[in-house]
Amino acid sequence: MKIAIIGAGLAGLSCAITLEKYGYQADIFEKRKKVGDRPVVGEAMSPILHTPIDDAIKYLSENHNIHLKPTTNIQKIYIHSLNESSYLEGHLGYINKRGKDPEAYEKQLAEQVKSPIHLKKQVRYEDISKKYTHVVLATGDPIDTQNIQSFDTAFKASFKGATIKGDFIHNEAHTWYDNELVPKGMAYFLPFSNAEGNLVVVYPQYKENRTIDKNNLWKKILQKSSHTLGQELSIRKEFSLDNYVVGKNKYPRIGNTFFVGNCLGVINPFLGFGQFTSILSGIYAAEDICGESNYEDKVQILYKNYHDSLTLRRKLEGLTNNQIDMVTKSLHLKPVRKLVAGSHVNILKIISSISHPARR
């Protein structure tokens, strides 16, 4: 077999590592000049997004020989609405870096790959598919999928964020939900250490949000987070992104072409992260190529997670600030917090059920 992987992100590199586990190598093509050549951002990998696996790092290491070192773990997540604040506590996952940082997950994966990574190689699928027996499309761009098959876009999102400095508790994250401030969106803070972290505001590019002044919104979020965290926050480096696509394709595999990562549709619509599912899609594609499993069957759980998450998001988008306050207030009850933060529990469905009485 002659295998090509287009894209050296989480899905593509995880696919390469798994192929090597079964004795195969692939040619990896990356259009950027180096792996992870983009602004540094923080992301969360939490059981909230991938029940029933309660520890993704342990799972990947023990089951797939993929070893990742998170930036920090998460022991507490604060939820702030307009008039309420609450929190979840327990082993709630990990925070990691992406992009140019030397500790970024994609760079950690690249160190575990033996297959050649051809940098600054922007190849065309049409050409590659004629030269290789198997092609794994892992560019991270749904547009590349749309050139081959249909891609159902749920929404596009805008981001504005920055690496900030301050005095933090390294394993405590914060989220803010306020429809007056960020209509149908949110802001979050993920610490990298006791002195540095990532503050981000994200919102869907719906028609009603077209008049949002992103820079003005960012100033308000910075002010609000400074008040919540009880300190003046120092901005180190800002970043901004528009037209970030959240959606899924129709076919995981067409012939001997496998769609993985964002080309498959692994972004969780509820919170917007997808590292773990992206890695899993790369692993599953490699296992199919090596005759170990069926890719279309394995990714059904990823599709189900996507649909459950999107359903929950749609419900939450319909809530008023008063209703969001009620949901947040319900987390003041210790049994509710314990249930939501417990392992092997479908937290997406629990939160969805909690939201029902708030809507009546």
> Domains in the chain and their CATH numbers?
3-359 (3.50.50.60)
Question: What span, in angstroms and rounded, lies between the C-alpha atoms of 191 and 166?
Answer: 10
Question: Quick one: pLDDT at residue 138?
Answer: 98
Confidence of residue 293 (pLDDT cuts 50, 70, 90): very high
Question: Quick one: pLDDT at residue 360?
Answer: 37
Give CA separation, 28 vs 123, 234, 269, 298, in Å.
10, 39, 28, 23
pLDDT above 90 coverage of the chain, percent: 83
Question: What span, in angstroms and rounded, lies between the C-alpha atoms of 248 and 262?
Answer: 8
With contact defined as beta carbons under 8 Å apart, do 96 and 32 qualify?
no
Beta strand ranges found along the chain (DSSP E): 3-6, 26-30, 41-45, 72-73, 76-80, 85-89, 94-98, 117-119, 134-137, 151-165, 172-176, 186-191, 196-204, 234-249, 253-254, 257-259
What mean pLDDT is predicted for residues 309-338? 89
What mean pLDDT is predicted for residues 264-276? 91
Rounded to the nearest 5 degrees, what angle is found at the Cα of 330, between the Cα atoms of 56 and 76?
A: 35
The pLDDT mean for the chain works out to 92
- In this model, does residue 352 exceed pLDDT 90? no
CB atoms within 10 A of CB 223: 11
Question: Quick one: pLDDT at residue 349?
Answer: 54
- Give Cα 355 to chain centroid, integer Å: 23
Rounded to the nearest 5 degrees, what angle is found at the Cα of 141, between the Cα atoms of 201 and 108?
A: 75
What mean pLDDT is predicted for residues 199-212? 94
- In this model, does residue 343 exceed pLDDT 60? no
Nearest to 190 by CA among 318, 41, 51, 42: 42
Confidence of residue 355 (pLDDT cuts 50, 70, 90): very low
What mean pLDDT is predicted for residues 143-166? 95
Give CA separation, 260 vs 26, 106, 236, 350, 356, in Å.
15, 15, 33, 29, 34
Confidence of residue 48 (pLDDT cuts 50, 70, 90): confident
